């Protein structure tokens, strides 16, 4: 894909995610069901954190494209390294996990992840923007440009560390409020919850590996192109 076309795509994707993040964080306070938006607000939900992550990623990607267009190659190489690390370790596996896990649980029992009380608060288009559109965007990014993946050990350590931070955030919210971020967690014993978190981590690691596989199949051993 031409750099100018890629820059346009990344700019539009950034604007889209910025708009979606703005929309969900500015849901009218008086319309929020009190049992859903407790301590931590929207920032306790992986879905919302993923929107911020995607906005940051596409912003960095757009910056890299602009630097390549104006021939600032030394700066571009540094920004591209950050872009690739963001995408490989976080942007692709997290967006894939958010979309697939949400709709799987929603189909099984929506009350476990997205209570009906939210239908009057979050419009249908915003629900799909948060939970559906993120997956094709992630796949399209792999098709649009090659990404250099870090060494497997480094990538998995970084992914595991971020997962640990989010789980710690979830547990902290429960210790403060006595309420779980997702009603699903209340169904588990402590051992069962630990097993659930471990299983979720295994799934997100599989998505990391899948992204690396797709990138390699489409682009081979990708190298920076200037």
Is there a domain that residue 134 lies in? yes
Is there a domain that residue 91 lies in? yes
- Cα(57)–Cα(139) distance, integer angstroms: 14
Is there a domain that residue 81 lies in? yes
Is there a domain that residue 99 lies in? yes
Q: Taking phi first (over 0 means left), then psi (-120 to 50 degrees means alpha), and beta for anything else, what does residue 63 get?
A: alpha
Nearest to 14 by CA among 55, 61, 52, 66: 55
Is there a domain that residue 187 lies in? yes
> What element of type H or E holds 179?
none
Mean pLDDT of the residues in the chain: 90
Is there a domain that residue 7 lies in? yes
Is there a domain that residue 224 lies in? no
Query: What percent of the chain shows pLDDT beyond 70?
Result: 92
- Cα(136)–Cα(132) distance, integer angstroms: 8
**Averaged pLDDT for residues 47-67:** 96
Q: What is the pLDDT of residues 148-184, one digit of tens each?
A: 999 999 999 999 999 999 999 999 999 998 889 998 9
Of the pLDDT bands very low, low, confident and very high (cuts 50, 70, 90), residue 38 is low
Looking at residue 94, its pLDDT comes to 97
**Averaged pLDDT for residues 25-54:** 76
Q: Which domain holds residue 79?
A: 3-29+37-219
Looking at residue 62, its pLDDT comes to 96
**Number of compact structural domains in the chain:** 1
Judged against a pLDDT cut of 50, whether residue 226 lies above it is answered with no
Is there a domain that residue 202 lies in? yes
């Amino acid at each position: 894909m031409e750099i100018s076309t890629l820059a346009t795509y990344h700019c539009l994707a950034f604007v889209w995610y910025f708009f979606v993040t703005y929309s969900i964080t500015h849901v009218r306070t008086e319309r929020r069901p009190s049992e859903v938006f407790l301590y931590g607000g929207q920032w306790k939900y992986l879905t919302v954190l993923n929107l911020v992550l995607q906005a940051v990623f596409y912003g960095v990607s757009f910056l890299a494209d602009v630097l390549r267009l104006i021939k600032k190659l030394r700066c571009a190489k540094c920004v591209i390294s950050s872009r690739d690390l963001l995408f490989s370790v976080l942007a692709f596996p997290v967006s894939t996990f958010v979309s697939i896990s949400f709709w799987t649980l929603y189909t099984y029992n929506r009350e476990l992840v997205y209570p009906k009380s939210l239908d009057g608060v979050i419009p249908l288009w915003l629900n799909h923007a948060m939970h559906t559109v993120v997956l094709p965007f992630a796949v399209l990014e792999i098709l649009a440009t090659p990404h250099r993946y870090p060494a497997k050990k480094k990538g998995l350590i970084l992914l595991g560390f971020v997962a640990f931070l989010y789980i710690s955030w979830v547990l902290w919210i429960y210790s403060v409020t006595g309420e779980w971020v997702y009603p699903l967690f209340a169904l588990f014993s402590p051992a069962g919850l630990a097993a659930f978190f471990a299983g979720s981590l295994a799934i997100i690691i599989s998505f990391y590996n899948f992204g690396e596989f797709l990138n390699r199949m489409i682009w081979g051993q990708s190298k920076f192109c200037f």
